[in-house]
């Protein structure tokens, strides 16, 4: 489903429906029993379809990730209707361990042996206005499987600011709080109000407000944890024809405006997209560099003394919303002597456009992991700063 300029049926500005399902009760209900019992899966590569949920045993995962690497899932369950989630809970219990959630696979490295647990591909879609916050911002509820690109386009078309700088980031909306996704001065923590999730530890639905999500710099309570499966999210966005202040020099230069300027939402989005494309950070626009997860490494936190030393070397050092001081990972990789297009291991090299890793013919999960370690060690040796990978390993 593509949500560009949504069809409406309105009873007023805060009850306007865009697309998707009706409003959930504010009390988070326990899921009803499965409408039809699941049979225990066989492992013969067969595909089942029950209601609006598709199950494939021994499903290849590599084609479902942007790196195109990795082995099969014991079972891949594709969920389209959120009311079918109880069936997923029942099926997941027949596999070892907690299930894994996969959106569009744009930040995932699947192991060469694949995954023995059930893998849920969240394909639920829907966006609606859910009310007005106390501060006047518009509350927007989104299904976890809704494409982030559609959500950004929709908010811009509706004159809502808060997500325009996230244009060009791949993935589903449910991935936003997992690592507090952000770019060019905006991040998920700025707008997230609450999430509804299934808690596998307690076996029930829970509603977590933004504070309970533990959002930090590209992290949260959901990062590297299988305890929760996110089902829907609520954001608070401000109605405005103008963007948030443009705080990045590259975006301001693309717009031809001073840093700190506010511009029409669509103009800000176009400028951010142009900057991202120039770095090979937009999927489908990078040619041989398309097998990528974007930024493999976090911009590492550094001490005040390190910041002073690195600023003297003209390194891009910035203070982030969480109060941390960080230096660009790309600058560190370049400073460590890695050239664009440089091969690292078989099937893995530095991008031709940006200082990050990309996969090509012959790549494996073991090789990609080895390439990450090579870059980490060399950056530490040459710069004294330790990088951290931001990829989710499956």
The catalytic residue positions are 218, 295, 390
In eight-state DSSP terms, residue 331 is H
Structure tokens at 219: 């992290």
Structure tokens at 117: 């647990």
Beta bridge partners of 129: 140
Nearest to 207 by CA among 220, 190, 194, 189: 194
Cβ atoms within 10 Å of 203's Cβ, excluding its own? 11
Rounded to the nearest 10 degrees, the angle between the axes of helix 265-278 and helix 148-157 is 150
Question: Which runs of consecutive H residues, i.e. helices, occur in the chain?
Answer: 85-92, 148-157, 249-255, 265-278, 304-312, 329-335, 365-383
Q: Is the dihedral of CA 33, 39, 42, 45 positive or negative?
A: negative
Question: Do the beta carbons of residue 200 and residue 228 sit within 8 Å?
Answer: yes
Question: Do the beta carbons of residue 181 and residue 202 sit within 8 Å?
Answer: no
User: Which residue spans within 179-227 are E strands per DSSP?
Assistant: 182-183, 186-187, 192-199, 204-209
How do 100-102 and 115-122 pair as beta strands? parallel
Cβ atoms within 10 Å of 251's Cβ, excluding its own? 24
Nearest to 269 by CA among 377, 385, 153: 153
Structure tokens at 348: 């893995």
The DSSP secondary structure of 118-184, one letter per residue, reads EEEEE----EEEEEE-TTSPEEEEEETTSBHHHHHHHHHHTTEESSGGGTT--SBGGGTTTTT-EET
How far is residue 201's CA from residue 175's CA, in Å, rounded to a whole number?
A: 20
Nearest to 148 by CA among 124, 131, 166, 130: 166
In eight-state DSSP terms, residue 346 is T
CA 250 from centre of chain: 23
């Amino acid at each position: 489903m593509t949500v560009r300029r949504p069809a409406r049926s309105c009873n007023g500005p805060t009850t306007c429906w865009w697309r998707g399902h009706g409003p959930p009760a504010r009390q988070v209900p326990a899921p009803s029993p499965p409408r039809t019992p699941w049979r225990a899966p066989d492992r013969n590569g067969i595909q089942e379809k029950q209601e609006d949920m598709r199950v494939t045993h021994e499903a290849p995962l590599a084609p479902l990730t942007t790196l195109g690497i990795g082995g099969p899932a014991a079972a891949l369950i594709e969920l389209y209707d959120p009311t079918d989630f109880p069936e997923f809970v029942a099926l997941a219990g027949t596999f070892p361990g907690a299930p894994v959630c996969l959106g569009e696979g744009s930040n995932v490295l699947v192991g060469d042996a694949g995954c023995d647990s059930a893998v849920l591909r969240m394909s639920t879609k829907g966006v609606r206005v859910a009310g007005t916050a106390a501060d006047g911002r518009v509350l927007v509820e989104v299904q976890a499987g809704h494409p982030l690109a559609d959500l950004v386009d929709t908010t811009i078309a509706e004159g809502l600011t808060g997500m325009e700088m996230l244009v060009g980031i791949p993935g589903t909306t449910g991935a936003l709080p997992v690592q507090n996704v952000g770019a060019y001065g905006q991040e998920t923590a700025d707008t997230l109000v609450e999430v509804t999730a299934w808690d596998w530890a307690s076996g029930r639905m829970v509603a977590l407000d933004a504070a309970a999500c533990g959002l930090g710099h590209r992290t949260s309570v959901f990062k590297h944890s299988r305890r929760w499966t996110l089902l829907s999210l609520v954001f608070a966005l401000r109605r405005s024809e103008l963007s948030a202040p443009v705080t990045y020099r590259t975006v301001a230069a693309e717009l031809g405006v001073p840093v700190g300027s506010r511009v029409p939402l669509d103009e800000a989005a176009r400028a951010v997209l142009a900057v991202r494309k120039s770095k090979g950070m937009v999927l489908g626009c990078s040619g041989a560099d398309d097998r990528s997860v974007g930024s493999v490494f976090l911009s590492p936190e550094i001490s005040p003394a390190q910041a002073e030393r690195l600023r003297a070397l003209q390194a891009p050092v910035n203070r982030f919303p969480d109060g941390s001081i960080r230096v660009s990972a790309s600058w560190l990789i370049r400073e460590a002597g890695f050239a664009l297009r440089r091969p690292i291991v078989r099937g893995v090299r530095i991008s031709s456009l940006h200082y990050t890793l990309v996969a090509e013919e012959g790549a494996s999960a073991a090789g990609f992991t080895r390439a990450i370690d090579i870059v980490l060690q060399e950056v530490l040796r040459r710069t004294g700063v330790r990088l951290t990978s931001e990829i989710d390993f499956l």
